[in-house]
C-alpha cells in the first residue's frame, strides 16, 4: 500500500451533515416559534451555502458565519422575541446531537484502522464537530482530529493540510492522501499542499483536479488498497 497517512474530510464524506443540518434546523426553528416550512429551510440552505463559499475564499470567519446566516434568515422571516445569536446557539446545540453517517463510513474506517494513520481534517465549528464526534461510533478509529476553527485556517488553504501532516508525523508527502467530497475545499487544499487526493463523487459532478475519483467509500478503499 502506497499511502501511510489518510487525511479525510468529515461532513458529507464520513458524517451525513445534510441530514444533521436538516433535523437541527427544524428543531431550532420550531423552538423559536418559526414554522420550518420547505421554503424557509431552502432559504436557509442558500444563505448558508453562500457564506461557506465566502469562508473558503477567506472573506468571513466561522464566528461571523454562525450569526450572519440567521441574521439574514430572520430579516426575511422575522419572529417576535427571536434574535440571531440566540437562534444560532440553539441550532448549534441541536446540530451537535446528530451523528448520522454516510453510507459505509463505519465499515470503511474499521477495515483501514491499523493499516494507516487516519486523520480527520474538517472545516467546521469546534464545539459542534466535537459534540458530534463524541456521539459517533467511528471516533475511536481516528488517530487525530484537525478542525479548522481550532487552527485558524480553513480548507482550501493548504496550511490546514500541512498542520495535519505535521501532527501525524508525516515527512514524506508521497505517503499521504486527502479524501473528501468538496471540489472547492478538500481537493484544492490537497493539490496546493502537494499531496494526492481522492474525490468522493456522491453526486457524479466530477473534479478534474483530483488524483482519483470514487463514487463511494467502498471505491475509495479499493483505490487505497491497490495503490
Active site residues: 9, 11
C-alpha–C-alpha distance, residues 211 and 69, integer Å: 34
C-alpha–C-alpha distance, residues 24 and 31, integer Å: 11
Query: Torsion over CA of 195, 169, 142 and 213, rounded to 10 degrees?
Result: 10
Residue 128 CB: number of other CB atoms within 10 A? 25
Find out whether 29 and 55 touch, Cβ atoms under 8 Å.
no
Can you read off the three cell numbers belonging to residue 85?
Answer: 445569536
Can you read off the three cell numbers belonging to residue 34?
Answer: 418559526
Amino acid at each position: 500500500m502506497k499511502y501511510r497517512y489518510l487525511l479525510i474530510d468529515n461532513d458529507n464524506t464520513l458524517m451525513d451533515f445534510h441530514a444533521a443540518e436538516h433535523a437541527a434546523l427544524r428543531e431550532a426553528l420550531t423552538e423559536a416559534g418559526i414554522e420550518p416550512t420547505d421554503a424557509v429551510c431552502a432559504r436557509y440552505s442558500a444563505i448558508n451555502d453562500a457564506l461557506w463559499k465566502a469562508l473558503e475564499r477567506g472573506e468571513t470567519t466561522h464566528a461571523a458565519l454562525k450569526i450572519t446566516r440567521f441574521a439574514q434568515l430572520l430579516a426575511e422571516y422575522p419572529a417576535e422575541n427571536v434574535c440571531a445569536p440566540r437562534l444560532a446557539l440553539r441550532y448549534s446545540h441541536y446540530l451537535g446531537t446528530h451523528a448520522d453517517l454516510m453510507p459505509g463510513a463505519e465499515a470503511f474506517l474499521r477495515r483501514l484502522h491499523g493499516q494507516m494513520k487516519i486523520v480527520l481534517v474538517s472545516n467546521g465549528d469546534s464545539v459542534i464537530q466535537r459534540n458530534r464526534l463524541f456521539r459517533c461510533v467511528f471516533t475511536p478509529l481516528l488517530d487525530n482530529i484537525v478542525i479548522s476553527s481550532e487552527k485558524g485556517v480553513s480548507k482550501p488553504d493548504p496550511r490546514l493540510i500541512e498542520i495535519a501532516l505535521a501532527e501525524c508525523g508525516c515527512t514524506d508527502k508521497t505517503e499521504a492522501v486527502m479524501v473528501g467530497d468538496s471540489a472547492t475545499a478538500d481537493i484544492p487544499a490537497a493539490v496546493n499542499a502537494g499531496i494526492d487526493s481522492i474525490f468522493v463523487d456522491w453526486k457524479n459532478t466530477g473534479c478534474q483536479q483530483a488524483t482519483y475519483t470514487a463514487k463511494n467509500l467502498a471505491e475509495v478503499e479499493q483505490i487505497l488498497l491497490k495503490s
